[in-house]
């Protein structure tokens, strides 16, 4: 009886643990974005070198989850999440005490490994623990990530105003993260029970990649993260160059992420059909992005950025939940595949937007996001139709 009570308590602490970890991951992400110029100034970096700081972080997110996702499925997600704690704290320490660019690059890579593996294992564990609440729990946990990204710049700016250097980003993130170690020890990581119609045997990466539906879901996540990155990175240029209203750019980025956060909280507490929400979100966002691309009014464009953020809020959690549900014994591996797809989209789409903007203008680069959203809409409709057909067969 005592063992059962301890297990029940451990299941209840899993959601707070993952939410807390993702808040810190969002916090450090937003903080690093804020202090990049300060880091470049201290280490005398040019723009290319400054950008490579972020590149090192994304390289880790692209290569580490696929390795540790499979290990988590085989040996246990709790053990791998504990290793992610070590990666993250070590990366923060390395960056905190870096005396040159090389040291900072190493720190960012190790920290990126901790963030990506931690997010992968935490997300997969949540999906395993309560399949019936998978979309809700993932929306709630991801709202903490975006919430951390929202509040971080304000907190770090205040701390730097009080006399701290840019290193306070890594110091504060590590200190907050330490408080979740006891919660990790107490949390239980149950294995998802078998569900009818789903794949129950653990599969290799190559076997999973033969699934057409998984490929479609990965494409959708690539597009989502690509559009998310495109809006966030090009908002400043769009408001400054196209609309001549630089004062609106910071508000557009902050309110966009706030809308994402609130949307994820909402979809974390209400009951919805995930497939229909995914299709509707991409479809409606495509329409809103059309109006944003042709907008000549800064307040209207700001409002449209907020609407896009709200529509896109539930997409990441719902896509990942849909993938994990279909491959119950390989949820860690599947989640890692989805995250790699998202990372690739986040790295690729801003580059494509830059090419379009260089050869045409920023409005056409925003138009590229419209095309991608339409593609994702039809991909979601394809997945939904296949599921309906299978259910009635």
Highest mean pLDDT: which range of 44-53, 223-232, 307-316: 307-316
Residue 4 CB neighbours (<10 A):
8
Question: What is the per-residue pLDDT for 233?
Answer: 62
Q: Which two tokens mark 277?
A: 């929400």
Span 179-207, average pLDDT: 68
What backbone phi and psi angles, to 5 degrees, belong to 43? Answer: -95, 5
Q: Are the CB atoms for 285 and 263 separated by under 8 Å? A: no
106 vs 136: which has the higher pLDDT = 106
Query: Measuring CA to CA, which residue among 337, 60, 325, 340 is closest to residue 207?
Result: 337
For the stretch 61-112, pLDDT in tens is 777 877 787 787 778 889 999 999 999 999 999 999 999 999 999 999 999 9
Question: What is the per-residue pLDDT for 9?
Answer: 53
For the stretch 351-383, pLDDT in tens is 787 788 788 777 888 888 899 999 999 988 887
Q: Please determine, for residue 323, whether its predicted confidence score (pLDDT) is greater than 90.
A: no
For the stretch 211-231, pLDDT in tens is 788 888 999 999 998 888 777
Q: Which two tokens mark 347?
A: 């790295």
Give, rounded to a whole angstrom, the gap between the first and last alpha carbons of the chain. Answer: 44
Q: Please determine, for residue 240, whether its predicted confidence score (pLDDT) is greater than 80.
A: no
Spatial distance between the Cα atoms of 128 and 134, rounded to a whole number of angstroms: 8
Spatial distance between the Cα atoms of 328 and 167, rounded to a whole number of angstroms: 41
Spatial distance between the Cα atoms of 197 and 212, rounded to a whole number of angstroms: 16
Q: Please determine, for residue 8, whether its predicted confidence score (pLDDT) is greater than 70.
A: no
Highest mean pLDDT: which range of 1-15, 29-43, 78-92, 349-363: 78-92
Query: Measuring CA to CA, which residue among 150, 275, 317, 293 is closest to residue 230?
Result: 293
122 vs 328: which has the higher pLDDT = 122
pTM of the model: 0.75
């Amino acid at each position: 009886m005592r063992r059962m009570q301890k297990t029940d308590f451990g299941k209840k602490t899993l959601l707070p643990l993952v939410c807390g970890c993702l808040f810190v991951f969002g916090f450090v992400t937003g903080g690093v974005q804020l202090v990049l110029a300060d880091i470049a100034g201290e280490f005398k970096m040019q723009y290319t070198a400054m950008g490579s700081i972020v590149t090192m972080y994304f390289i880790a997110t692209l290569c580490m989850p696929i390795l540790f996702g499979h290990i988590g499925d085989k040996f246990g997600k709790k053990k791998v999440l504990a290793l992610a704690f070590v990666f993250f704290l070590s990366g923060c320490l390395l960056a905190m005490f870096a005396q040159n660019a090389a040291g900072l690059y190493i720190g960012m890579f190790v920290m990126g490994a901790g963030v990506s593996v931690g997010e992968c294992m935490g997300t997969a564990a949540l999906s395993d623990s309560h399949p019936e609440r998978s979309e809700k729990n993932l929306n709630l946990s991801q709202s903490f990530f975006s919430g951390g990204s929202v509040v971080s710049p304000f907190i770090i700016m205040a701390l730097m105003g009080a006399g701290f250097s840019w290193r306070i980003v890594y110091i504060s993130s590590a200190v907050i993260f330490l408080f979740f170690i006891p919660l990790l020890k107490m949390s239980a990581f149950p294995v998802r029970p078998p569900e009818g119609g789903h794949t129950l045997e653990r599969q290799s990466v190559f076997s999973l990649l033969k699934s057409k539906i998984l490929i479609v879901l990965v494409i959708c996540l690539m597009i989502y993260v690509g559009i998310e990155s495109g809006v966030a990175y090009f908002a400043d240029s769009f408001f400054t160059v196209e609309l001549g209203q630089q004062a609106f750019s910071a508000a557009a980025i902050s309110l966009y992420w706030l809308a994402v956060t609130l949307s994820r909280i909402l979809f974390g507490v209400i009951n919805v059909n995930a497939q229909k929400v995914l299709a509707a979100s991409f479809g409606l966002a495509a329409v809103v992005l059309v109006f944003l691309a042709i907008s000549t009014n800064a307040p209207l464009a700001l409002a449209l950025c907020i609407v896009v953020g709200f529509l896109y809020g539930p997409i990441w959690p719902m896509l990942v939940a849909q993938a994990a549900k279909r491959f119950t014994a390989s949820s860690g591996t599947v989640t890692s595949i989805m995250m790699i797809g998202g990372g690739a989209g986040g790295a690729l789409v801003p580059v494509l937007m830059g090419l379009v903007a260089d050869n045409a203008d920023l409005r056409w680069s925003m138009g590229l996001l419209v095309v991608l959203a339409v593609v994702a809409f039809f991909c979601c409709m394809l997945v939904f139709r296949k599921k309906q057909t299978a259910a009635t067969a």
